[in-house]
Amino acid sequence: MPPTMQVDSGLSSGYATLLRALCPSNANASTPTTTVMDLSTPAVLDNNYYKLLPLNLGLFFSDNQLRVNSTLNASVNSFAANETLWKEKFAAAMVKMGRTQVQTGACGEVRLNCSIVNPASSSSSIELASSTPAVDEDGVATS
């Protein structure tokens, strides 16, 4: 008897059925299975992701958490209602992330597989910066 599949309570049952149908019946932990995060406009950079969350169509558990937290849900509602606001916040976040320096050597590593810490014997530690990066008042590394 196959194990009972648990579904996030914040996920639409119809969406859960669709996601199950996308997974091959012989899938295992090493089977790469992908899908889009935004069902209706997957190839467009827009605020539709936020419009889908109140419909219980968030792909990840963390998506539902944006809705159940009252502070975060206010942002979800604002972004869903105002695409210009979302684009402004998104652009500002991308600029801020772009200022972050890669941490290597004793401060970090370039991972061979982004979801797994490199084994101790890995030679992937590439020294990209020779000094500790400066940090601005928001804690963002500056160049």
- The amino acid occupying position 1 is M
How much is the pTM? 0.66
The DSSP secondary-structure symbol of 76 reads H
Q: Provide the CATH number for the domain formed by 1-98 in this structure.
A: 1.10.420.10
Q: Helix or strand or coil: residue 25?
A: coil
Q: Give me the helices (H) in 70-131, please.
A: 70-81, 83-98
Count the alpha carbons within 13 Å of 31 in the hemisphere toward its beta carbon.
8
CATH 1.10.420.10 residue ranges in the chain? 1-98
Question: How far apart, in whole angstroms, are the C-alpha atoms of residue 143 and residue 135?
Answer: 9
Walk along the chain (143 residues) in steps of 10 and give the mean pLDDT of each run. Answer: 68 90 79 85 94 93 90 95 97 93 79 83 50 51 49
Give residue 74's identity as a one-letter amino acid code. A
